[in-house]
Structure 1
Amino acid sequence: MKKTLLILLSFCAAACSKKLQVDAPDFNVSLDPSRQVADTFVYRLGDSTRFLFRGTVGNIAFYSGEAGKRYDSRVITYKLGKIMLSFSSKSEFGAQTNTLQVLATNKIPGTDSASMVNAAWKDISSRGKLATSSTVVAFGGADLTDLVSNANDSLFIALKYTGVTGTTQRTWTITDFTVNNVLADRSVVLTSLSNDVAYWTRFGNVWNPANGRWTPSASDLKITGGNETAASNTSWIITKPLYVGRIAPDVSAGVKSINEPDKQEYVYAYPTPGVYRATFVAYNHTLDEEKTTIREFTIKVIP
């Protein structure tokens, strides 16, 4: 009995420890040879690039080589270009002056109100133009690159409002607020009104939402000043931390999944002239293992 039990246990141990095996993809791609010039395939704008498939594979992903769709950029990377702030403003009602400051810092020691408002803020209001009336004024593209140390740094932008009791306080509206990391081949959005409406932090000594507190929306940031009897008001609105050099991974297009039959081709039309590195990633996988085959082509699209 003991001998039988030992044999069964040994068999179970061997079977349970065995990994699920997977075969390497049998996958090839070809293009129209009449389009080939040296190692490049040339197409005119508006042409369809027809990739012909051979073989059997579970999954296929396609990176076209356009900005945001490059195989070599499929993981998070960090690269610092120019950090550019832009927005437009208008200032209505009353005659109080110097009621809005634009501030920036790359160091906030904590998330409580005292830590945030007492951080080492730099006044960057003079780097652009602010409205003086109800006429909308573009701040202009303000370069903030000097405020960060490297691609791994973060940056915060704040709008600080001050209204004083005794006369009508100003009402400010901020539109088209964006901060971008401008690189040679793309512009990475670090924050915008439409993307980050839920991520602003607000502090102030007056909390009446109707007049005294910044209100963010997908289209603007607004603070409504009180009348001449309203209390003096200092109100802040601060962006989320902007990780200035972080570039999100580029994305692929799904061409085939494991539960679909084999495909004979994939057709893609490049929208603009340029030179692109088109990459197909074919892979088979189990819970234990993945094997990949990569096929790449240089595509040139001319006007």
Structure 2
Amino acid sequence: MKKSLIILLSFFAAACSKKLETDTPSFDVSLDPARMVSDTFTYRLGDTTRFRFSGTIGNIAFYSGEAGKRYDSRTSTYKLGQLTLSFSSKAESGTQVNTLQVLATNKLAGLDSVSVMNAEWTDISTRGALATSATVVPFGVADVTDLVANENDSLFIAFKYSGVTGSQQRTWTITEFTVNNVLSEKTVPLSALSTDVAYWTRYGNVWSPANGRWTISASDLKITGGNSSASTNTSWIITKPLYAGRVPPDVSAGIKSVNEPDKAGYAYAYPAAGVYRATFVAFNHTLDEEKQIVREFIIKVTP
């Protein structure tokens, strides 16, 4: 009995330790040979590029070669281009001046009020235009690349509001806020109001009345000034850390999954003239193993 148990346990151990293997895909792609000039397949803008498949494959992914959809950029990288800041503002109520500052830093010792207010901030208010009335004024596109050390650095943008007692305080509204890393091949968004609602942080030493603090929505940042008897109010709002040179991976389009039948081909219309490296990745996989085949084509789209 004991010997039988040992044999049985050995059998199960061997079964559990066996690697789940898969087969290398059998996959080929072809295009109309009449379209080939040298090693490039040429199309006119508006044409449909028709790729023909052969073989049996579990999964197929397609990288068109457009910006954001390139096989060579399928992993995260760090690359610093030009960092740009833009937004629009309007200032309502009262006549107090110099009530809004636009600040930036790459050095925050912590995210508590003391650390934020005592940090080495650079005043970038004059790198663009701020409103002086209820008329919305675009700040412009400000270059803030000089405020980071390299592609691995981070950046914080802050709006600092100062209202004083004795006269009607200003009400400020910030809209269309964006920070981008502009590369030659694409623009990487680092921050926008619509995506970062949950990531803005407010600081201040006086919030009286209660609405004398920044409010955040997907469309604007706003601070409402008090009347002439309201307390002097200093209120900050800052972005999340903006990782200056972080470039997220390019993405592919899923053409086929393992649960779908084999496909005869794929049609794609390029939206703009240019030269593209179209890449198909065919792969089979298990929990333990993946095997793939890559097929690439140079596609030229003329106006």
TM-score after normalising by structure 2: 0.96
In structure 1, the partner of 2:214 is 214
Query: How far apart, CA to CA, are the structure 2 residues paired with 1:11 and 1:128?
Result: 74
Report the counterpart of residue 185 of structure 1 in structure 2: 185
Verify: 1:120 aligned to 2:120, yes or no.
yes
Q: What count of residue pairs does the alignment treat as equivalent?
A: 303
Question: In the TM superposition, what is the alpha-carbon distance from 1:3 to its structure 2 partner?
Answer: 5.4
Q: Could you say which residue in structure 2 is the equivalent of 1:20?
A: 20
Contact 1:209 1:215 in 2 (8 A): no
Q: 2:274, 2:302 within 8 Å by CA — same for their partners in 1?
A: yes
8 A contact 2:208–2:233 mirrored in 1: no
Distance 1:208 1:72 in 2: 54
Answer whether contact 1:35 1:42 (CA < 8 A) is retained.
yes
SS at match of 1:230: coil
**Which runs of 5 or more residues in structure 2 are unaligned?**
none
Structure 1 residues 297 and 209, CA, compared in 2 at 3 Å: closer, same or farther? Answer: farther
Quote the Cα distance in structure 1 between the aligned partners of 2:284 and 2:209.
56
Question: Alpha-carbon deviations, 1:58-92, whole Å to 9, x = none?
Answer: 00010111111111111111100010011111111
Contact preservation (8 Å) 2:87, 2:174 = yes
Residue deviations 1:76-119 (CA, integer Å, cap 9, x gap): 11100010011111111211111000000001111211111211
Partner amino acid for 2:262? D
| Distance in 2, Cα, partners of 1:210 & 1:41 | 64
2:92 match? 92
State the alpha-carbon separation in 2 of the partners of residues 96 and 30 from structure 1. 69
Query: How much does 1:137 deviate?
Result: 1.5
Question: Residue 197 of structure 2: SS of its match in structure 1?
Answer: coil
CA gap 1:5/1:228 in 2 versus in 1, 3 angstroms: closer
2:74 is aligned with 1:74: yes
With over 3 angstroms needed to count, the CA separation of the structure-2 counterparts of 1:124 and 1:150, relative to structure 1, is same
Q: What is the match of residue 110 of structure 1?
A: 110
Task: State how far apart, in whole Å, the 2-side matches of 1:220 and 1:159 are.
Answer: 13
CA apart distance, 1:288: 1.1
The C-alpha deviation readout for 1:238-296, integer Å capped at 9, x for no partner, is 00110011111111111000011100000111111111111101000111111011001
What secondary structure, in the 3-state scheme, does the structure 1 residue paired with 2:199 have? coil
Local SS of the residue matching 2:198: coil
Give the secondary structure class of the aligned counterpart of 2:261.
Answer: coil
Cα RMSD (Å): 1.4
Q: Map residues 1-303 of structure 1 onto 2, 5 A cutoff.
A: 4-207=4-207, 211-303=211-303
Shift of 1:13: 3.7
Structure 1 gaps of 5+ residues are: none
CA distance in 1 between partners of 2:38 and 2:54 (Å):
23
State, as a whole percentage, how many aligned pairs show the same letter.
75
Contact 1:163 1:234 in 2 (8 A): yes
Distance in 1 between the 2:232 and 2:212 partners?
9
CA distance in 2, matches of 1:209, 1:264: 67
Shift of 1:24: 0.2
**TM superposition shift of 1:6:** 5.0
